[in-house]
Structure 1
């Protein structure tokens, strides 16, 4: 009896030919905000994740009830996406959201052009620490409100005020599970970074 053929691995997705800018982007936010999900949803290559099971030992520093999470990123998430119309290839690095991983965060942030900050309207204050880190590093960012199932919609002007965002900082909504939604948020960030680079030109 012949054995059934094994499924073939996906074909590799190579970098596009031509004149593309290669850009390092951080995907950041507090614990349990959807960073791993967003990178997995949008990456054109098999995304890399360094998640480990959470234990009761983390209860004193992490909210183990957040979104029913049972794992947490302990090093980095990585993915890649090409924006052909903008001639940009984005390398996406998801960073741990907890303060105890700050040393790793600093290393990952080195060389990044900007960041997409994911926030949850149910716990906006949890995002301040990450935004402070970005501002300390001098990185521009856009903010995306991750629309978790069952979360009520909020006026973005109200969210902007609660987060105390600068007028120029983009604020959008997205669903971290949906590829097109995350792509739209990344395009918003890319346009913002191009605009800010123009502002800094002599």
Structure 2
């Protein structure tokens, strides 16, 4: 901006998610955005999409309030392949549609500012992005907890030597279990069910 100003070339901030193939909103970024306090103004929906900021009961939130971003209409995926449970959780009936359409629960939090601009606030769940992969920490925790040797489990993304990495913390059923053997057993169980990038570097 210092060199060229904010008109040409023009920078566009586009919010998007895979489940909507791929972008949902667009906003030309201006010098005024840099001076404002918004972390990321995400603009307005692309014309063939709809979006809503809703509370936990699927009611629209007022200006200034934070809500979860829901997306619908053209481009929306039908669900997750062979994951009916996850599809039912994330692709929900659109309460504003008379045609039985669905909305996608993004898990992203946003807020309508008083000036009408929507700004991205953060995640509603434990999703992180590591080496370009979006990872639900809760899914890894659930897979750990399903293993017979585990009483409790927690997974965090922490800073490592080459960026963020996954670290799992486990309370074993048997307090006297041999740690190295248990770790190897748990990692093998995770590798059988999850892609390599979702297996914690350390347990």
- Same fold flag (TM > 0.5): no
Per the normalisation by structure 2, the TM-score is 0.27
Which structure's residues are more often helix, by fraction? 1
> Given the two structures, how large is their TM-score scaled by the length of structure 1?
0.27
Task: Point out which structure has higher relative CO (alpha carbons under 8 A, 6+ apart).
Answer: 1
Give 1 or 2: higher strand fraction.
Answer: 2
